[in-house]
Structure 1
Amino acid sequence: MEASYSTQTGETKTLGVVDFVVFASTLSVMLFIGLYFAMKSKKDHDPAEYLVAGRSMGVLPVSLSLAVTFLSALTLLGLPAEIYNYNTMFWWLALGMVLAVAGAAHVFNPVLYNIGITSVYEYIHMRYGRSVRVLVSFSWVIQTMSYMGTVLYAPSLALKTVSGMELWVSIVTVGCLVTLYTSLGGMKAVLWTDSFQAVLILVGLLSVFIQGCITIGGFGRAWDIASENSRIYFHDFSVDPRTRASFWSVVVGGGIMWMSYYSVSQSQVQRFLACHTLRKAQIAMWFSGVQLVVIVSLCCLVGVVLFAFYKDCHPLHYNIISNTDELLPLFVMDILGHLPGLPGIFLSCIFSGSLSCRCGVSVVD
């Protein structure tokens, strides 16, 4: 089984059998984790065990899960394309995420954790009553369905070109896999699967970055090329709301927006509630913040290398790709297409971004 992709060099790059085996193997591991925890806890009927892992989880799996839930395939594909098309101002998002983590860990986390709830909607019920709880639950379901539609569609559209996989196959595969291992294994399966996905994301990004630097002749050369073409830019402190991306919009605006997700979104709250103590939950949040900074920075570094690689042949101008979501997959096939297995790891990396995003188990009403 092979899928072909023509690059700007005119050559045909293919995803071979090894790449598909690597991809299928990673999906199988995720399913196995769900089955393992389903068998392990089949005699345990405690709802807290299923919803918040019995509040018995350690810092490492919770922090990894918090980090990858914060991200999506849109981030992994979009940030490099942002640097390629504009500049590095969005790199300030890493600082905004740190502010979001600080607010969540020390303002919202203690309140929700000490109440002893298993769902953020329990808190809403306790404070405002059932009718408000139902209304908020309904709005969250609608918002999440809309968001997940984009999260699943955008990477599937980009990866269709790389893998030859039809859009509906990609979307159905991701949806069914997440539903299966989540419903079978509960929150423990979600946390450990997210941890595995975090490793895949890191390995995938590092593979692309390192091989990209080797191909170009070193990161220093890539940075110089990007700088000469006005892509290295950090000092836009404009307060004009019409500015596309300034320090204030990215750090303050982005920080507040992400703090809302990190603090009161059921997907995030349910994860830090799985920690054994409040202190461990706060430590897990800070560790996840470090991981977020690393992943966001890697995405931006990949964007710098991406621009340097295509500076003399912009794929969109030559109709090699139809939209910027396909930039990173095109880059991967250009630099990793001759190395069996590594494109498969990248495919797993992007799918991990979709699988981990907003995944959780809960009762909203």
Structure 2
Amino acid sequence: MNLSLIDLIVFLAYVVGIISFGASFYFKKRVSIDYITGGGRLPAWALGMSIFATYVSSISFLALPGIAYQSNWNGFVFSLSIPFAAFIAVRYFVPLYRKLQSPSAYAYLENRFGLWARVYASTCYLLTQLARMGAIMYLLALPMNALFGWSIPLIIVATGLGVVIYAMLGGIEAVVWTDVVQGILLILGALTCFILIVWEMPGGCLQIYEIAQEQNKLSLGSFSLDWSQNTFWVILVYGLFINLQNFGVDQSYIQRYLGAKTASEAKKLTWLGSLLYVPVSLLFFMIGTALFAFYQQFPENLPLELQTIENADKVFPYFIVSTLPKGLTGLMIAAIFAAGMSTISTSINSSATVILEDHVKKYLFPNLPKASDFKVLYVSSFMMGIGSILIGLAFNGVSSALDAWWALASIFSGGILGLFLLGVLTQSKSNIPAIIGVILGLLLIAWISLEELFITYGLPVLELHKNLAIVLGTMTVFFVGFVLGWMVNRMKSF
């Protein structure tokens, strides 16, 4: 299929406009702290919208309707865990980082366990962000290639370079304000699509509901205690730990806490960004269910190649291209790209901050003049962007590599969260218990995440769902570190 000239103009105008808008912040007079946190002057509502836009990557925009179309609303349970994580963040994490007043999320770990913890956590964060950005660009390119025949490498390179330009030049202010625009576009675009699907159904919402009920499309999953399956409880616990990781140790979230004018504003933005995602993710699941009902009613409107389970993610983009009016189609394609661009720009900016604060100024060039901060931030942003493009290109046509990268990302992030909780919830300052806890936690995460590799070599495996890797790994880091720390303290007391 081909985009009409009108749609192509709308799409290109949006992309050029958002890049130009973001890059315009380069011309503001700033110091490095403005580039990193906005100087603590950004409004809470804008920062909250930025957190929301970061949540909704292009993966969410395409995958959530695809999940609902293919199966049911089991994936929505992840969103239900967000309010619990947000409550913990507002109660503990936001005050902690506001009090610390360091641009880096990982300065806290150095205060608790020493420089090794800071270097370990920040390095893992950078590796995770590279994997995340590359995966997002690749997964964004797949449906665009399937629908329009656009070159996958070209989409990856063009998307990556476009985001690099404004994220590198504009800093956190460019990221936040472009996120605001893109977040609004995401919401309006999704609402428009849902309304149009309902409009096309002869029986409207009632007919969609009846078809969904008949096919068990509204189920939140099994409530059994089988921890090897995607049950309600597995997704809920997994979602809680992933969101605790986001709020507690993700540099991009911490920068937004510090970007607010006051601690009270920081708490408000956390609630806004997190709670806004819940109804919007519900809207994406409703779109997927509505699409299922629509193509049940009009099966002749869906090509045979898209009627297979493995192509469920492509049904929503196909509906956009084949059904929406001209002009609106181009805007919706722009919304899909906006979802990816907002997440990538956030990762680029936060990664550049980590490189400057946790590596360059900490031990590479500890006496770096303040005037050189910007040079490091610009170069770091550019290098992270280029690195993510190369990883995205490496994913092309190698699906097993994608699974391996996400398994490694789980290993990296699980260790950081466990170490952070050990620091917050215990009093021990001994390094050895923390190091042993991290090593054992990472080994357990690897054991669960790389199950196929273990099976290949005839090694024993745990019959658990992979989503539980970060849960059990984090708990291992915490409990091992806690028990060994308690033992060390008892030995010192004798």
* Fold equivalence (TM over 0.5): yes
Matched position secondary structure for 2:305:
coil
Residues 290-320 of structure 1 show CA distances to partners (whole Å, capped at 9, x for unaligned) of 3101210110110111110222649999224
**2:369 pairs with 1:351:** no
**2:343 pairs with 1:363:** no
Greater helix share, structure number: 2
Structure 2 unaligned blocks of 5 or more: 360-494
- The alpha carbon displacement at 1:190 in A equals 0.7
One-letter code aligned to 1:318: L
Matched position secondary structure for 1:236:
coil
One-letter code aligned to 1:25: A
2:25 corresponds to which residue? Answer: 37
- The alpha carbon displacement at 1:23 in A equals 1.3
Matched position secondary structure for 1:357:
helix
- Candidates 227, 242, 247, aligned match of 2:213: 227
- Candidates 42, 65, 68, aligned match of 2:53: 68
- Candidates 36, 50, 75, aligned match of 2:35: 50
1:74-89 to structure 2, matched below 5 A, reads 74-89=59-74
One-letter code aligned to 1:335: T
1:326 corresponds to which residue? Answer: 314
1:1-365 to structure 2, matched below 5 A, reads 4=1, 14-41=2-29, 44=30, 46-217=31-202, 218-234=204-220, 236-244=222-230, 246-311=231-296, 313=299, 318-320=304-306, 323-336=311-324, 339-357=325-343, 359=346, 360-361=349-350, 362-364=353-355, 365=359
One-letter code aligned to 1:22: V
Label 1:141 to 1:235 Cα distance change in 2 as closer, same or farther (>3 A). closer
Distance in 1 of aligned mates of 2:41 and 2:121:
28
In terms of Rg, which structure is larger? Answer: 2
Residues 107-129 of structure 1 show CA distances to partners (whole Å, capped at 9, x for unaligned) of 21110111111111222333333
Matched position secondary structure for 1:311:
helix
Matched position secondary structure for 2:106:
helix
One-letter code aligned to 1:305: A
CA contact (8 A) 1:215 1:335 kept: no
Distance in 2 of aligned mates of 1:191 and 1:91:
26
Say what the alpha-carbon RMSD is for the aligned residues.
2.0
Distance in 2 of aligned mates of 1:106 and 1:163:
47
300-309 or 247-256, larger mean C-alpha shift:
247-256
Distance in 2 of aligned mates of 1:173 and 1:152:
10
CA contact (8 A) 2:82 2:275 kept: no
Distance in 2 of aligned mates of 1:347 and 1:235:
31
Distance in 2 of aligned mates of 1:346 and 1:70:
18
Distance in 2 of aligned mates of 1:226 and 1:284:
35
One-letter code aligned to 1:29: G
Q: TM-score, normalised by structure 1?
A: 0.89
CA contact (8 A) 2:48 2:270 kept: yes
Structure 1 unaligned blocks of 5 or more: 5-13
Percent pairwise identity: 27
Residues 52-88 of structure 1 show CA distances to partners (whole Å, capped at 9, x for unaligned) of 0001111111000011112211111111111111112
1:7 corresponds to which residue? Answer: none
Matched position secondary structure for 2:20:
helix
Distance in 2 of aligned mates of 1:272 and 1:331:
38
One-letter code aligned to 1:179: V
- The alpha carbon displacement at 1:254 in A equals 1.0
Distance in 2 of aligned mates of 1:74 and 1:118:
29
- The alpha carbon displacement at 1:180 in A equals 1.1
One-letter code aligned to 1:284: L
- The alpha carbon displacement at 1:281 in A equals 0.7
One-letter code aligned to 2:57: S
Distance in 2 of aligned mates of 1:86 and 1:297:
15
Label 1:363 to 1:212 Cα distance change in 2 as closer, same or farther (>3 A). same
Matched position secondary structure for 2:354:
coil
Distance in 1 of aligned mates of 2:316 and 2:305:
15
Distance in 2 of aligned mates of 1:163 and 1:52:
39
Distance in 2 of aligned mates of 1:309 and 1:325:
16
CA contact (8 A) 1:235 1:247 kept: yes
- The alpha carbon displacement at 1:96 in A equals 1.1
Q: TM-score, normalised by structure 2?
A: 0.67
CA contact (8 A) 2:260 2:266 kept: yes
CA contact (8 A) 2:36 2:172 kept: yes
Label 1:315 to 1:255 Cα distance change in 2 as closer, same or farther (>3 A). farther
One-letter code aligned to 1:363: V
